Amino acid sequence: MRVGLLGLGRIGAFHAATLSALVDELVVSDADQSRAEEVAGRLKARVGDPFDADAVVIATPTATHAELLVRACDLRVPAFCEKPAAPGVAETIRVAEAAERSGTVVHIGFQRRFDAGYTAAREALRSGELGTLHRVHMITADPAPPAPGYVPMSGGIFRDCHIH
């Protein structure tokens, strides 16, 4: 299986390392060509067109997700994309319509839905063990701030993390 990966920042590099051990060929791409070449060399992947693959993983900044997902749908390449699918409702609907129209599989990475702590909290709430829910306080933190150039392209910490 040949998988394309767009975006080799923090989460993209993590996906690249995982995928390189699972697929026959990993094709990587990044706005920073030197980063793409470094990651490809380290993981025995190749730099190229990630849409020329059996599936594509999108780990680019939030503002680019919708356009890339629609392109994957137009090309009928199954896609996994980091959340959110798009920065707004209209763009999200456009992605959903493209996926439906093309019949392409699109999966958005909501990994917290499978996190043991989140699952336990959900079950405790549903069973009544927690009583009546009045407030939810969630904390998230990255090990280091993102690069300054990433911030304007992201959905911001509220949108990118609160979506869980």
CATH of the domain at 38: 3.40.50.720
In-domain check, residue 127: yes
Note down the domain range covering 16: 2-110
Tokens 């390392």: give the residue: 17
Query: Which tens digit of pLDDT belongs to each residue from 38-58?
Result: 999 999 999 999 999 999 999
**Looking at 35-44, 74-83, 89-98, 146-155, which range is the least confident one?**
146-155
In-domain check, residue 60: yes
Residue ending a domain, among 110, 138, 154, is 110
Give yes or no: residues 53 and 30 share one domain: yes
Q: In this model, does residue 135 exceed pLDDT 90?
A: no
What mean pLDDT do residues 10-36 have?
96
Tokens 């910490």: give the residue: 157
Give yes or no: residues 126 and 99 share one domain: no
**Looking at 29-38, 42-51, 135-144, 152-161, which range is the least confident one?**
152-161
Q: What whole-number distance in Å separates Cα of residue 7 and Cα of residue 70?
A: 16
What mean pLDDT do residues 94-117 have?
90
Q: What whole-number distance in Å separates Cα of residue 13 and Cα of residue 39?
A: 7
In-domain check, residue 66: yes
pTM (predicted TM-score): 0.81
Give yes or no: residues 89 and 27 share one domain: yes
Query: What is the residue type of 24?
Result: D
What mean pLDDT do residues 58-65 have?
93
Residue of 82, 112, 68 whose CA lies nearest to 14: 82
Q: In this model, does residue 129 exceed pLDDT 80?
A: yes
Q: Cite the DSSP H helix spans in the chain.
A: 10-20, 33-43, 65-75, 89-102, 116-127, 156-162
**Looking at 29-38, 59-68, 91-100, 104-113, which range is the least confident one?**
104-113
So what's the pLDDT on residue 122?
87
